Amino acid sequence: MKGRLIVLEGGEGAGKSTHAQFVREWLERSGRRVVLTREPGGTPLAEAIRALVLRGWDEGIDGTTELLLMFAARAAHLQALVRPALDAGQDVVCDRFVDATYAYQGAGRGLREKDIDLLAGLVLKRLRPDLVIVLDIDPAVGAQRVQGRGASNRFDAEALAFQARVRKAYLRRARREPKRYAVIDADRSREAVQADVAHALERLK
């Protein structure tokens, strides 16, 4: 049996990393072998690209450069880690994937969806996540959480209006394909969110 690709998405401070761990444990308890990874990143080359794309540059970094780096990291990640794992029957749990590109570079930066479609066709070929869990949070609440943990990258620093466009894009994409997406209100206790995440994972059986 081929492995399944399960993706966690959401705005800054939605709790993806915590819940990605939970997804891994849940799948392992149900007898699956699991690889937990993230984008941009997940392999040494893709992590090197991550460092380039998340840091600030005095010369600036335009949307197209950002878009191409995201897909360069994704191509390396798919080739060296994701596809081999899926082919070997392992489930892959990925903290962000291509929906993030539509949300951040598309809705956030204003790049054209059809340009992203083109790169997605080139890099993903026929690969689609089996399930995308969107952890939905009000950007103002998310920003507070991010501040609390002190981490910061170029995207954390974007204005609330940018984060609001990102959020809307995730919700729009989820509405288009309700069978492959689960939108979960992330502004609740960890236990309440986890119960909904577990419910969404039941669909994979």
Catalog residues that contact ligand TMP under the rule CB under 6 A: 12, 38-40, 70, 95-96, 100-101, 104-105, 153, 155
Q: What count of Cα atoms within 13 Å lies in the side-chain half-sphere of residue 15?
A: 22
Instruction: Name residues whose C-beta falls within 8 Å of residue 111's C-beta, 6 or more positions apart in sequence.
Output: 63, 64, 67, 105
Instruction: Name residues whose C-beta falls within 8 Å of residue 186's C-beta, 6 or more positions apart in sequence.
Output: 10, 14, 15, 135, 136, 137, 193
DSSP letter, residue 78: I
CA 120 – CA 161 distance, rounded (Å)? 26
Other CB atoms within 10 A of residue 147 CB: 13
Give the residue with the Cβ less far from ligand TMP, 39 or 91: 39
Minimum distance between the CB of residue 70 and ligand TMP, rounded to whole angstroms? 4
Minimum distance between the CB of residue 114 and ligand TMP, rounded to whole angstroms? 17
Minimum distance between the CB of residue 62 and ligand TMP, rounded to whole angstroms? 13
Give the residue with the Cβ less far from ligand TMP, 88 or 161: 161
Minimum distance between the CB of residue 203 and ligand TMP, rounded to whole angstroms? 23
Give the residue with the Cβ less far from ligand TMP, 158 or 196: 158
Give the residue with the Cβ less far from ligand TMP, 26 or 155: 155
